[in-house]
Structure 1
Amino acid sequence: MMNTNKVYNNILSNFNTDTLYRPQKDAAIVEGDSLELMKKIPSHSISLILTDPPYHSTNKKNITGDTKFKKDEDFLDWMEQFAKEWKRILKFNGSIYCFCSSQMEYQLINRFSKDFNILSTITWTKPNKPGFDGWRKKMKKENLRQWYPASERIVFMAPKYGENLFNSYFGAKLRSWRNLVKISGHDLTEITGAYGKVNHGGAVSNWEAGRNIPSREQYTKIINALKIRDTNGLISFPDYEDIIRPFNVDGTMQYTDIWDFETVRQYRGKHPAEKPIDLLENAIKASSYVNDIVLDTFSGSGSTAEAALSLGRKSISMEIEDKWVQASVDRLKSTQIELKV
């Protein structure tokens, strides 16, 4: 398995010490333009990207970058540059959660789908208790000329490796391994007992198409079956954590594509786009392994870093505004992180 501590420290060594802060051993904050900062990250070294870029459509002056682009196309071109870098730095089995507005969702997905498999589009409903509903309760309904945008979107995606929907790195590797040792998909299905009845598994054809991912037990059976045929030792098989995209949910989590997490209530010093810790934890727990590296390229006040630390992950936060860099440093230094793993 990849030595995550070594990878993490290697990544951080590439940044200027004047703009790098380490409020916790496993939490780093880098000040600057994340599009440029990402170029210093080695390829295929980040496990999960969880990030909240400017929405553009909301046009809020108190969010850096939200009013930067006059045309939608300029904003989309800018975001496409991020997508290219995200794919380069993500591990082959990495994932991305990218927040966006409902208005820009489809245009962004169109750009992202050039480099990523769009696995889900999550609707965050933002429910709140009476008295904390903001403009939803106060605004005059008769003035509406379209449905009130009470939700936000989160695009969940993984790097695409092929020309068809869902083509994945593992799927391509499995097919090449099978061809190398001359074992049919049907025979491998028989050996592993994966007939598609288990949602986490699916038949070999589904794994190769990228529609499903094998469980740890199924992957072990795959490797053992292939090793018997690989008499010349031609194949080096990665550990499960280095090739299978993590996706681990249970009944205690929000596991559908509708997420109901209350918004962060107003407090002195609150970031205008701050996301709730429990929502971020839901994504991190599902789509990363313990000790993985989580990157937020628009980190704001450091919520993603706090959520990552609480689940035993390492974090790298990139933020362009010095005000929020300092707020993040203070937050992570003073917050008592409760480990939830």
Structure 2
Amino acid sequence: MKYYYNDENIKLIYGDTTKILKKLQEKSVDMIFSDPPYFLSNDGITCSNGKMVSVNKGEWDKSKGFKNDVHFHKKWIKACDRVLKEDGSIWISGTYHCIHQIAYILLSMGYYIINEVTWYKTNAAPNLGCRCLTASHETLIWAKKSKKEKHTFNYEIAKQLNAGKQMRSVWEISTTPKSEKMFGKHPTQKPLKLLERIIKISTNEEDVILDPFCGSSSTGVGAVSNNRKYIGIDISEEYLELSKKRLIYIAKEKNNGTN
């Protein structure tokens, strides 16, 4: 494996995620957060900072047709299944373009869906075509290997994060702020508030968290900030460099006691 960065608590690995996952130790990961390609790069347009821009994000986000897209999702999910502990859990984000395919694959593998979470984006981009409803949410599936397995759920922490009340399955969280893009940006970067909530409620300190499509490693920043270990995999050295900068910075901030 080609480690882009490697220390006791942080491992960034360059390469194709399905191939890399075959080399990791079996049943060694406590939680997986996956933000896979949604295959949205279809030459359309969207709005960013008040400007009309292309939706294209890169070749990795272009659909290769329904059957090929489903096959892609099956491959990486099965590879993740091998490294996930029996009592571990997996979170997968998506939109209607892919999330229903993913849910079907998980269920066909015998997985049990713990929750489906709706991430409502309070500041989502407007719809420029004006021919359908404005897309303002993403779906997060939280699942485990089987219903009988006892997964980690920090119920009291979830209540604390929700003003002392039971946390519901609709989360109102703004899109990623500029302050989290100080070292650069990834086109599908998730807000730290979203990842920290997931990490705090579904893992414990010293747990190993894996992100198979890590991008700019918001998952890693949330993991390191909260005393978890992190493995991030990406096929782009550009984004691994961005991840490295963010993770080194947050680790220093944490060690200095300012985080």
Question: Which residue pairs with 1:46 in the alignment?
Answer: 29
Identity rate of aligned residues, in percent? 26
Deviations 1:103-139 (A, max 9, x none): 33222211121222122211100113xxxx5x32xx4
Quick check: 1:113 aligned with 2:97?
no
- Distance in 1 separating the partners of 2:11 and 2:59: 21
Residue 175 of structure 2 is aligned to residue 263 of structure 1: yes
What is the rounded CA distance, in whole Å, between the counterparts of 2:155 and 2:137 in structure 1? 23
Offset, 1:144 = 2.9
Gaps in structure 1 of 5+ consecutive residues: 1-14, 161-165, 171-243
Report the CA distance between 1:70 and its aligned residue: 2.6
Q: CA deviation at 1:158?
A: 0.6
SS in 2 for 1:111: helix
Per-residue deviation, 1:57? 3.5
Written as runs of structure 1 = structure 2, the 5 A alignment for 1:158-237 is 158-160=144-146, 166=147, 168=148, 170=149
Tell me the residue number matched to 2:160: 252
User: With structure 1 as the length reference, what TM-score do the two structures score?
Assistant: 0.64
Q: For the residues of structure 2 that align with 1:252 and 1:20, how far apart are their CA atoms?
A: 36
1:183 is matched with none
Ranges in structure 2 where 5+ consecutive residues have no aligned partner: 43-54
Give the Cα separation in 1 of the matches to 2:238 and 2:208.
Answer: 24
* Higher normalized strand content (fraction of residues): 2
CA deviation string 1:2-47 (max 9, x = no partner) = xxxxxxxxxxxxx34xx3412x531110011111000011211100
How many residues are aligned here?
Answer: 234
Q: Does 1:305 align with 2:220?
A: yes
Offset of residue 340 of structure 1: 11
* Separation in 1, partners of 2:39, 2:222: 26
- Hey, what's the Cα distance between the residues in 2 that align with 1:317 and 1:33? 12
Task: Indicate whether 1:122 and 2:117 are aligned.
Answer: yes
Structure 1 stretch displaced more, 112-121 or 264-273 = 264-273
Maintained 8 Å contact 2:93/2:141:
yes
1:49-64 aligned at under 5 Å gives the runs 49-59=32-42, 60-64=55-59
- In 2, distance between residues paired with 1:329 and 1:64? 23
1:74 aligns to 2:57 (yes or no):
no
Residue pairs, 1:268-307, within 5 angstroms: 269-307=184-222
* Contact 2:40 2:56 (C-alpha < 8 Å) held by counterparts: no
Larger radius of gyration: 1
Match 2:91 to one of 77, 81, 97 = 97
The normalised TM-score by structure 2 is: 0.83
Give me the whole-angstrom Cα distance separating, in 1, the residues matched to 2:233 and 2:59: 13
SS of corresponding position for 2:108 = coil
